[in-house]
Amino acid sequence: MLIRIKDRRQSAGCSRKKNLLLFSSPAVDGGDRYFVKLSWGWTLLLLTPFLLLSNSCFSRTFLCRRLLSLVVATAIWYVFTETFFYIEDISGVCFEPSSADITKTEFTSKVTCRRAGFHWDGYDISGHSFILCYSALFIMEETAPMASMKTTSLSALPRMVLNLLYVALNLIIIMWVWMFTCTSVYFHDQTQKWLGTMCGLLPWYLTYRVWYLNPLSPGLPPQRHLKEEKQHA
């Protein structure tokens, strides 16, 4: 058993080194450091003013419900990421980089282990796969009405800002898809990537395809909201 654990850690260490070499180009490393690790911040930074401007012609109640979708999505992001950290902590063990069979039992979390200069080996569900998948789908749902939205009620400056935000959000989606591809090639094993992706798909489906169809919810974006009303009329 000890030999198997040691072999698994050594294999994981070699895999990490290989992945770091493959993933160390300045463009990819910069994208991971400044975009992916701050991906939810970028999403909220661009999507919040977009929702405020794109829904400003609707009632205040409808606008508040659309902004509530940001709160729900942020809660989903927080719960899932904290769950991933917890799983990695309870399933892992701290060990010395130079000797995989020497464990440090006094460190019971990844943070304290790495802070002390050691390595942590736990089951690491791909947070990148989760957040990139969920964020891209979330932005897609909220920006979809822009294709048929009438912005003539807005003055020139707000309309220009709205268009710029729409372009920026589409560029962010392209960035997320690209970084998701890089993650799927270079990091984590197949089950970790699969679980991370499924964790991104599940809350999107349960909110926009199930819960948001009900009256007691933040509701759907304007275009789909109007279509649903016509179908029920």
Convert 118-146 to b/e letters by CB count within 10 Å (16 or more is b): bbbbbebbbbbbbbbbbbbbbbebbbebb
**3-class DSSP state for residue 143?**
helix
pLDDT at 156: 84
| Under 8 Å between Cβ of 131 and 81 | yes
pLDDT at 165: 95
Question: Which amino acid is located at 204 in the chain?
Answer: W
Six token digits for residue 123: 């089951």
| Beta strands at 93-96 and 99-103: parallel, antiparallel or unpaired | antiparallel
Handedness of CA 180, 186, 191, 196 (dihedral sign): negative
Question: Which amino acid is located at 229 in the chain?
Answer: E
- Give the residue ranges of the chain where pLDDT is below 50: 1-24, 225-226, 228-233
pLDDT at 140: 94
pLDDT at 158: 85
pLDDT digits (tens, 9 = 90+) for 87-121: 988 888 888 777 656 667 777 778 888 888 888 88
Reported for 107-116, long-range contacts at CB under 8 A and 24+ positions apart, including other chains, are 110/85
Residue 35: which of 149, 151, 173, 194 has the closest Cα? Answer: 173
User: Which residues are marked as active site?
Assistant: 128, 188
List 94's β-bridge partners, or say none: 120
Other C-beta atoms closer than 10 Å to the C-beta of 233 total: 5
List 95's β-bridge partners, or say none: 103, 119
Give Cβ neighbours of residue 112 (< 8 Å, ≥ 6 apart). 94
pLDDT digits (tens, 9 = 90+) for 154-178: 788 888 999 999 999 999 999 999 8
